[in-house]
């Protein structure tokens, strides 16, 4: 068998697709090598909840594969349906649900781009936490330090890409779940604007906060996948982006914010990264100035947490429906989806089926006043106007992604007492949520490593629809501070499984 490489780094997805087109390797060889790497590192990292190896091999044999990534192996986050496979969402109750009858729109679009799904990647239960330690599936480990979390909820995807198992992987971001694992694993991760890409979904309380895309080692992989997934017909609400292939000569006005939405300052290691990034941006000729958020971030954060809790209520409702006798269960699910009975009907699940944190969020949501979703929507409209006004003075807003470097395994996990876990959340991951509330694009760029060798991502946000500015800035930063050659201690090539 011909091999792609036996040395770090793994070719990115763009180069892998080019190798397949040139017939340097076949799609089947690319997939088989990814499977070898996946099997070798799964015990150390626990990044995958379900292999799809045989389906992947059969698809790789097709001569009809087309698209910009034809033949490139890929992982899909286990919150999307793949025909014939279960969808577990990181939760134990989902073992009662049938396998998917058809693939989700997201999966269909990815396969239309030529990608070959080799497995389903791990996530925290229902994607609620900024770590990936579901009680039912065990923790996913960070290849930079296996005693630490790779972030979440797309932690399985980030761990796999960082370790060189495959060049990019699916991710979804409802409050930071692309950007947080990208930061924790030294990868590039861009969250698109709301409704920008095909397949974006997951309403929380009637407000769509989740955007899907990927985590990748290179900017060009992310930009090319974005271009292949971009919805057409959006010109009325957002400018069409299309392919972005390199940096711009345009110099930007960049405002920076140090403190998180709770007013907490970053720790010393993160602050060092911020200061170095400010210096880099200035050296590149950008105008960089301190700024203040023009909206009540504490109030918006409370509203986001209410959406978060209503999402947990929906998850518990699904679990109740799965426990109810068949006719009652179907009625429960229908009532829940209609919004008439958001918590569902049927037996209440316990902590053997759903983590205590999810149950606690659902209990809190049950006490929200009627009309809470309407109030939040009005608050979002007010904040959007303030946010747009902010961008009259700046092109990009810059901050950390996380207040600290990646946390230790077990620090943020769903079976801890609620008050303990809530405080740890507030202390760790409070820089990313508002861009989900307002539907604006934002990205994590791997620009700093701590003295202990842990990655720290820098966060850049732009006005809604302006992904082009972010991609162009990311290309420039990648050229100035290349990160793709950095290898974590746990990687496929160090373990001797880079090729066969």
Enumerate the active-site residues: 77, 153, 177
Q: What is the dihedral of CA 423, 429, 434, 440, to 10 degrees?
A: -160
Q: How far apart are CA 315 and CA 357, in angstroms?
A: 12
Q: What are phi and psi of 446, to 5 degrees?
A: -80, 90
Q: Check if the beta carbon of residue 75 is closer than 8 Å to that of residue 158.
A: no
Q: How far apart are CA 262 and CA 265, in angstroms?
A: 9
DSSP E strands: which ranges in 396-468? 396-400, 442-449, 455-461
Q: How far apart are CA 117 and CA 108, in angstroms?
A: 11
DSSP letter (8 states) at residue 142? B
Nearest to 361 by CA among 314, 426, 321: 314
Q: Is the peptide bond before 262 cis (omega within 30 degrees of 0)?
A: no
Alpha carbon distances (Å) from 431 to 48, 137, 188, 265: 28, 28, 17, 11
What's CA 465's distance to the chain center, in Å? 18
Q: How far apart are CA 152 and CA 14, in angstroms?
A: 25
Q: What are phi and psi of 180, to 5 degrees?
A: -65, -50
């Amino acid at each position: 068998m011909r091999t792609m490489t036996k040395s770090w780094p793994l070719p990115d997805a763009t180069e892998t697709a080019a190798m397949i087109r040139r017939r340097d390797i076949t799609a089947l060889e690319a997939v088989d090598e990814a499977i070898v790497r996946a099997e070798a590192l799964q015990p150390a990292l626990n990044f995958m909840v379900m292999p799809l190896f045989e389906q992947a091999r059969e698809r790789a044999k097709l001569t009809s594969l087309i698209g910009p990534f034809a033949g490139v192996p890929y992982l899909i986050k286990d919150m999307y349906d793949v025909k014939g496979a279960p969808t577990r969402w990181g939760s134990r109750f989902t073992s009662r649900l049938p396998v998917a009858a058809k693939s989700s729109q997201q999966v269909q679009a990815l396969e239309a781009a030529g990608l070959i799904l080799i497995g389903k990647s791990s996530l925290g239960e229902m994607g609620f936490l900024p770590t990936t330690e579901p009680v039912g599936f065990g923790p996913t480990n960070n290849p930079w330090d296996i005693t630490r979390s790779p972030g979440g909820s797309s932690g399985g995807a980030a761990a796999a890409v960082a370790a060189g198992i495959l060049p990019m992987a699916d991710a979804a971001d409802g409050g930071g779940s692309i950007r947080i694992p990208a930061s924790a694993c030294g990868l590039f991760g861009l969250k698109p604007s709301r409704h920008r890409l095909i397949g974006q979904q997951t309403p929380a309380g009637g407000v769509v906060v989740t955007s899907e895309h990927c985590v990748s080692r290179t900017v060009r992989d992310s930009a090319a996948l974005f271009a292949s997934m971009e919805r057409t017909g959006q010109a009325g609400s957002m400018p069409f982006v299309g392919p972005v292939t390199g940096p711009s000569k345009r110099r930007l006005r960049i405002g920076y914010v140090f403190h998180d939405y709770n007013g907490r300052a970053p720790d010393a290691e993160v602050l060092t990264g911020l200061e170095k990034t400010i210096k880099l941006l200035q050296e590149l000729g950008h105008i960089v100035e301190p700024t203040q958020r023009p909206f009540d971030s504490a109030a918006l954060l409370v509203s986001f947490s209410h959406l978060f809790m209503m999402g947990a209520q929906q998850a518990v409702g699904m679990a109740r429906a799965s426990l109810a006798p068949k006719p009652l269960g179907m009625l429960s699910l229908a009532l829940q989806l209609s919004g008439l009975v958001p918590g569902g009907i049927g037996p209440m699940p316990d902590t053997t089926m759903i983590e205590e944190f999810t149950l606690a969020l659902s209990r809190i949501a049950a006490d929200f006043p009627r009309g809470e979703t309407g109030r939040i929507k009005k608050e979002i409209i007010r904040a959007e106007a303030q946010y747009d006004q902010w961008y009259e003075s700046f092109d990009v807003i810059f901050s950390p992604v996380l207040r600290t470097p990646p946390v230790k395994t077990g620090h943020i996990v769903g079976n801890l007492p609620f008050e303990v876990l809530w405080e740890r959340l507030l202390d760790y991951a409070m820089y990313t949520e508002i861009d989900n509330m307002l539907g604006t694009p934002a990205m994590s760029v791997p620009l700093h490593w701590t003295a202990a060798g842990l990655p720290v991502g820098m966060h850049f946000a732009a006005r809604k629809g302006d992904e082009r500015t972010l991609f162009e800035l990311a290309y420039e930063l990648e050229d100035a501070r290349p990160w793709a050659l950095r290898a974590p201690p746990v990687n496929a090539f160090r373990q001797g499984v880079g090729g066969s």
